[in-house]
Structure 1
């Protein structure tokens, strides 16, 4: 039976299910009727338009003057070379937003994405085909690779390139392959009319689906922050919901997501530690005191936890430790059941 209320119920439950390395299912519930789609639709749009990715924005090939040219000793003409290049998904290894990367190949070779990996850049889809050169060919080319969002046409990029020798490229930055959501009915407090929002997110490997979802949430909160000038609701949501929900997505992930070495993982598993949040709740002394955890493993866990923004013994959880402990206990009980 529906009762009279003065505010909509705030969802309290969520789950993150890894389907593969590049695909995840994220569920949030319970929403009042109509609230699920109200939030899900703009989040889906933000996933496509606000998720940061990498793309080549300009290309120069030695001996080539324009994109409709051809090159001696290369099987493909330049136009097809560019099409193949756009299919490759790059990822900068540096902290820079822009890098100029040079490549050189000589002699008979079929070139794939893995052949472009170096200290500056990584090609996520390593088996992607680029071109074939014969035994007499020398292929030297440079790429401008940038970090960005959305799609930027070559006409706009051309005005941003100071060196006229470069060919401007259409830049497809978004790493999101697919972002869809379903609205399901869910029973809550004997009421079957509440809603669960289930997102299925697939990326190209430049970024994890969970990180992409976090980025979309952050973008939404930033857009809504303009209303802080009118009311303090925006700042309240940002401080209480955004930070904790984003953190909790990591806190309730399995420790397998930390990609630890076998020695470190086995030590945590033998200590009964299943979730990242359990490590975050520990002090450094508690972690160091785990049986058979050596200094090398301790340093590895410390460094990885710091890299995801949850250093061991973090004070970020000061107001939510009991809530987190309760949630982890519930999850363990469910798994045991």
Structure 2
């Protein structure tokens, strides 16, 4: 009896439908929030998620670092790393606040003294951040210094500049127009605008496509006609400028600037980025994932504070979170790699 040849696709292991990375991260966020909600009722006798004021403070705190994380995401997608963002925050905060300082208290001595337009301290701060990013990018692209070393050097240099600029003295009393950038929910609004702009840029423009291509395979990107060196400089300039923007927001919010501002911000930004699914090996990640990772990071830290855990436990957990996220990324990479 003749048999018909029937083409049947062989079943493959692990061929079940996979959810997008951002959806998986969002599910993790819901799970972590639920855990803290349950622990809150058990140990504190109150709701973690039901306190709107606590959630508002949490979002305000992480949104500033979230601005930095948007730039760090692009750096990591390109296959690099940026350890200088926190120090750039300190340097830019000092410079911007020095030009944004209100002259009200000094007019008794200098009656003709007037306040500068708010565009001056903002523009100068952004330029300082862009210059720092340009130096990082130029060193990495044209001298072939590893990103870790180049940005580590900038981290030390920028912190030293912040201390030298005013001989370590804090600067306070900004003008009302400058303080506006940190008032109310402005930090959150600024973060959302920045995230939206670079979500579109990374997904729909040549800038984003080139960044992903460089991170996936730099040599292949160069062969395909991408000017890798110029693109790397652009990426680090963007990262430096966003760190400067975060510095302006945090200085305006606290209405003071100190050389130590932004300490460890770079590690928090990297943690948010990696938690959000960006691969430290480059070529994969998204701004949306980083935004969700930012909220996860904030929920965890706020949750520990809510449960009244000591600050040093929180620091240890930050390190554990980064390591866990890297391990998860390594596992995902192995699953994606086809077996011979």
Per the normalisation by structure 2, the TM-score is: 0.29
**Larger radius of gyration, structure 1 or 2?**
1
Report the structure, 1 or 2, having the larger helix content: 2
Per the normalisation by structure 1, the TM-score is: 0.29
Which structure is higher in RCO with an 8 Å CA cutoff and minimum separation 6?
A: 2
